[in-house]
Structure 1
Amino acid sequence: MATEERELAAAGLTTDISKYGYKQELDRTMNVWQLTAFGLNYMVPIAPAIIFGMLLQTSGGTVSLPYLLAGFAMLLTAFSYSVMVRNFPLAGSVYSYVGRGWNTHLGFIAGWVLTLDYILIPTVTASSSAYFAQQYFPDIPYWVLLAIFSVGTGLLNLFGVELISKMGLGLLILGEFVVWVSILVWANAVHSDGVGTGTLLSTQPFEFASISSLAAATSLAIFSFLGFDAITTLAEETKRPKRDIPRAIYWCIGIGTITMVACGYFGMLVVPDWQSHINDETWVNTVLFQVSKMTGGEGFGIFFTAGYLTELAVFNLVATAAGARLLYGMGRDTLLPKAIFAKVNKKWKTPHWSILIIVSIEFILGLSSNMTTLSNLVNYGALFGFATLNLAVIWLYYVKKKGEAPLSLGSTSNWKPTGLSHFRYFALPLLAFAVIVYVAINMDKLALLIGSVWLGAGIVYLFVKTKGFRKLPPHLDV
């Protein structure tokens, strides 16, 4: 193993994190396929079922278009992620990239806001799971089902990321199987039985109320793409982070976009009369369950629900893992209480206190908030983090001038982009930033308000913690 590690280091594919002031405490076990499975399980192949009704309601008729546009926006930002993970292959995601690539205080703020995603997304999925399960178990209290899908699945993270990696690929295949079987059943019902539109070729799934409503729906659809960000939180548990994390990110976005667009298209073929149901909260929260029952009967509805609940349980497992590592990165830098958030279990090599805190918050929020508000709020943190990360690429290469060269050029430090590389390191990040800002200004107004309050709280906390932005941990003073 030591020989393999030396060979990887010589090829510039891994890194000694001691040069960043850290000790390697997490086990490096992940490869590109395990990372891709982790990211797609975080995206959830069946993710449209969570917010299908909300996307339909927000856009005024389409689910496919918001997913297609969100996939394009995320691809642009993914280019910036691949650059930053090559420069800083550390746990902490946007927090580490913005902090080291641009400004340490801004990095904390980006990480602070992004914690909304890593706490609220599993809260939404756990709530959604409870709603779906109650279709078949109406006598079981909501809070019991919520506890099973939030606390029960999240606590499996205490046993280490290797468990997740071993389970991940098989569970991903199961999830994709359920999705594509469902799409085939829906399509067959439309084509053969005359359900819904009665034709497989229709413009109906692409209708929307207005450009602003489509943009608002696109901002909500980003909810389903955050798995690619979650991949980067495992940088210190990946054998070849500089090569394999970018590859896994691109695979995730490509597969995820195709799956979600197809799901949105064929699902809408079945329910052209959606306006007559859109004011029913239960229908909005379980649209694809209703679609499955309409096209395949009660038995297929059970099949779809079983697959859906399994996938969401897997999602909560990986979401808690990613969120715990974001908090671990911030705690290790003492920007959150180190004794709690940076504590690593000696046996399982996991940040156990971060895991326990996340699952506790998920359960409490799931009891006290509604899915629509939480789903909209999730994307505030993502969009803020993505916007700052894209600008951080430009800052690192054109202001600080300390960026690494591409792997093909030997990963040399303090490299200056020339010629066509300006497109990769300046034009693309700037375009991605502009797209993110446009989507963000069309977000739900309540989500913008609550997210801004959370942002303000983070700024105040940081001001006090750093004595007026004057103090930093020594290894962050870069």
Structure 2
Amino acid sequence: MEGENKHRSLSLWQVVVIGVAYMAPATVFDTFGIISRVTNGQVPLAYLLALVAMLLTALSYARFSRLSPKEGSAYTYTTETCGKTMGFFVGWCSLLDYMLLPLINALLAGFYLNSIFPDVSYTTWVLIMVGLVTLINSFRINILANFSFVFVVATLIMMLVFIYLVVTGIGDSQGYSQVMTLKPMFNGDPELTTLVAGVSLVCFSYLGFDAVSTLANETKNPTKTIPKAIIWTTLLGGAIFITVSWFVTLQFPTLAQFKNPDEALPEIALIVGGAAFQTQLLTVQIMNAFASGLATHASASRLIHIMGRDGIFNKRVFGSVSTKLGTPLYSIFFVGLISLLAIYVDLATVVNYVSFGALIAFTMVNFSVFMKFFVIRKERTGFKNLFMNLFLPLASVLSLLGLWINLEKSALEFGGIWLCVGIVLVLYKKIKRQPISLGSPVEEVSNS
């Protein structure tokens, strides 16, 4: 499609930066106390095992993204392999976490900014955050990539400063032999059940590779670029999480030093670098939330646009792309409106709901690999085909089993309600005889 190709401008590393920004890597500080408590101190090991589990699923996403230049996501892949009905429900469930993640970032940014500038209300900060993120997303995707690059680099620099402070602090006081150790990886008392519970929590830190698959329409040579970006995003995100959690664990092998372990970031920064570093790290956390907000907002609006184009939502509104900017403006504005709910909800409740849609998406993409290559294409002969098309997707699904077992009851309940709303939507479309053309060729509607 001419209009689609016209705006293919993202390079491999721009897509990777957006994916890493989506992961909000600095949240490793925020969640350290929680993960350490759940895993009995084995935070780096939890991130490592989560990387293995998510890398298996990322490989499934990468395989599908090689087949088509269209935007990916579990919605597209499942539709093309398992049929329109299954594709719709996977897309509908995926939409839940896609829409909630920008809301979470708005909530976090509002909280951090209000703590630094208490004279300005939390509500005002949320409005400013959502307004800026929506405005930047309205312009060409390259602008988003450039903003994401700046914020990701700033976050990485602050992480390097943190690592330097930990190394020099421990080295000067206890000797550098205490730094060159594997103790952080095998810290605490290992228990399989607690470790699996921790892995189930940190797995959702790796959602960036799923978001990458929605950017195919704006990426140069997507069938080559997107698969590489999916794998690189997962590996880089994992490297960041494992490395930072390693040095945090090196400094804090137990939670005894924390007054409030569930909100460990301020205390981590204060103990390691003093009040000045605490302020700097909190500032980076705001940038981290903003960068992740930009990336999650972009991915959510692209998924809504894809579903609008396919007739699930109003095609003329949500299936349209601005002829001037090359972005789905109405979808972007809609995600902005949803993000404003951050004014009224609390973080713990929203975080629980995100996991349901992500697990549905991950499970179905792995199942779709089996269906596409092993069942439909009948690629079953030889060790390579058996490994790639049967054993690998099966191992991926089994790796997700522990996450399903540890899923919060509230997430299952809310996910069930969301699924029922999707069923009602399908029935309404059928009664009104409004076609849903899942997996149809791209046929954009333009707006100004």
TM-score, scaled to structure 2: 0.89
Q: Which SS does the other structure have where 1:24 is aligned? A: helix
Offset, 1:94: 1.1
Q: 1:298 to 1:137 in 2, by over 3 A?
A: same
Q: 1:277 to 1:98 in 2, by over 3 A?
A: same
For 1:124 and 1:42, locate their aligned partners in 2 and report how far apart those are by CA, in whole Å: 12
Residue number in structure 2 paired with 1:416: 379
1:215 corresponds to 2:178: no
The C-alpha deviation readout for 1:49-93, integer Å capped at 9, x for no partner, is: 343343334434333232212211110011111111122332251
Residue number in structure 2 paired with 1:64: 44
For 1:204 and 1:134, locate their aligned partners in 2 and report how far apart those are by CA, in whole Å: 36
1:354 corresponds to 2:339: no
Offset, 1:184: 2.1
1:90 corresponds to 2:70: yes
- State the AA in 2 paired with 1:373: T
Q: 1:156 to 1:205 in 2, by over 3 A?
A: farther
1:444 corresponds to 2:426: no
Deviates more, 1:317-326 or 1:422-431: 422-431
- State the AA in 2 paired with 1:332: R
Residue number in structure 2 paired with 1:247: 228
Number of positions where the alignment pairs a residue of Structure 1 with one of Structure 2? 437
1:257 corresponds to 2:238: yes
- State the AA in 1 paired with 2:345: S
The C-alpha deviation readout for 1:205-242, integer Å capped at 9, x for no partner, is: 74368533332332221221111111110111111111
Residue number in structure 2 paired with 1:125: 105
Residue number in structure 1 paired with 2:301: 324
Residue number in structure 2 paired with 1:13: none
Deviates more, 1:241-250 or 1:415-424: 415-424
- What are the ranges of 5 or more consecutive residues in structure 2 without an aligned counterpart? 442-448
Q: 1:455 to 1:475 in 2, by over 3 A?
A: closer
Of residues 7, 25, 32, the one that matches 1:45 is 25
Q: Which SS does the other structure have where 1:344 is aligned? A: strand
| 1:92–1:325 Cα contact (<8 Å) kept | no
For 2:131 and 2:291, locate their aligned partners in 1 and report how far apart those are by CA, in whole Å: 13
| 1:186–1:292 Cα contact (<8 Å) kept | no
Q: 1:149 to 1:188 in 2, by over 3 A?
A: farther
- State the AA in 2 paired with 1:254: L
For 1:386 and 1:309, locate their aligned partners in 2 and report how far apart those are by CA, in whole Å: 29
Offset, 1:243: 1.0
- What are the ranges of 5 or more consecutive residues in structure 1 without an aligned counterpart? 1-16, 402-414
Offset, 1:164: 1.6
| 1:121–1:378 Cα contact (<8 Å) kept | yes
Deviates more, 1:203-212 or 1:152-161: 203-212
| 2:211–2:299 Cα contact (<8 Å) kept | yes
Percent of aligned pairs with the same residue? 29
1:78 corresponds to 2:58: yes
Superposition pairs for residues 79-478 of structure 1, below 5 Å?
79-193=59-173, 201=181, 202-203=183-184, 206-207=187-188, 210-274=191-255, 277=258, 280=260, 284-285=262-263, 287-364=264-341, 366-401=342-377, 416-419=379-382, 420-466=384-430, 472-473=436-437, 476=440
For 1:464 and 1:213, locate their aligned partners in 2 and report how far apart those are by CA, in whole Å: 44
| 2:4–2:218 Cα contact (<8 Å) kept | no
Deviates more, 1:150-159 or 1:130-139: 130-139
Q: 1:302 to 1:244 in 2, by over 3 A?
A: same
For 1:29 and 1:356, locate their aligned partners in 2 and report how far apart those are by CA, in whole Å: 22
Computed over aligned residues only, the root mean square deviation of the Cα atoms, in angstroms, reads: 2.8
For 1:418 and 1:349, locate their aligned partners in 2 and report how far apart those are by CA, in whole Å: 44
TM-score, scaled to structure 1: 0.84
For 1:52 and 1:302, locate their aligned partners in 2 and report how far apart those are by CA, in whole Å: 18
